[in-house]
Chain A
Amino acid sequence: MTQKTVLNETHRALGARMVDFGGWDMPINYGSQIEEHHAVRRDAGMFDVSHMTVVDLHGARTREFLRHLLANNIDKLKVVGKALYSCMLDERGGVIDDLIVYFLGEEFFRLVVNAGTRAKDLAWITQQAVAFDVQVKERPEFAMIAVQGPNARARVLELLHEVDRPRIEKLGKFAAAAAQGPHGMPLFVARTGYTGEDGFEIIVPEEHAVALWQALAAAGVAPAGLGARDTLRLEAGMNLYGQDMDESVTPWEANLGWTVSLDEGRVFIGRAALEQQKAAGVPRVMVGLVLDGKGVLRHGQKVLGASGEGEVLSGSFAPTLDKAVAFARIPAGEAGDLRVDIRGREVPVRLVKYPFVRDGKACDGI
Chain B
Amino acid sequence: MSEIPGDLKFLKSHEWARAEDDGLIRVGISDHAQGQLGDLVYVELPEIGSSVQAGNGVAVVESVKAASDIYAPVSGEIVEVNELLNDKPETINEDAFGDGWIFVIRPSDRAELDELLDANEYEELIENDDH
Interface residues of A (CB under 8 A from B): 17, 28-29, 32-34, 227, 231, 294-296, 298, 316-317, 319, 343
Contacts and interface: CB of A to CB of B under 8 A. Distances in A.
A228 B93 CA distance: 17
A212 to B, nearest CB: 27
A227 B42 contact: no
B42 A316 contact: no
B65 A227 contact: yes
Interface string B29-66: 00000010011011010000000000000001010111
10 contacts: A17-B38, A32-B38, A34-B41, A227-B65, A295-B42, A296-B41, A296-B42, A298-B67, A316-B64, A317-B62
B30 to A, nearest CB: 16
- Chain B residues touching A, majority SS: mixed
B62 A33 contact: no
A28 to B, nearest CB: 7
A11 to B, nearest CB: 16
A228 to B, nearest CB: 9
Nearest to A296: B62
Given A317-B62, A343-B60, A296 B67 contact: yes
A32 B66 CA distance: 14
A227 B38 contact: yes
Nearest to A316: B64
A319 B35 CA distance: 18
A319 B65 CA distance: 12
B67 A227 contact: no
B64 A319 contact: yes
A272 B15 CA distance: 56
Which of A227, A296, A319 has the largest number of chain B CB atoms within 10 A? A296
Contact of B64 (A33, A295, A343): A33
Given A294-B44, A295-B42, A343-B67, 10 more contacts: A17-B35, A28-B38, A32-B39, A33-B38, A33-B64, A34-B41, A227-B38, A227-B65, A296-B41, A296-B67
Nearest to A319: B64
A304 B86 CA distance: 27
B42 A231 contact: no
Interface in B1-48: 35, 38-39, 41-42, 44
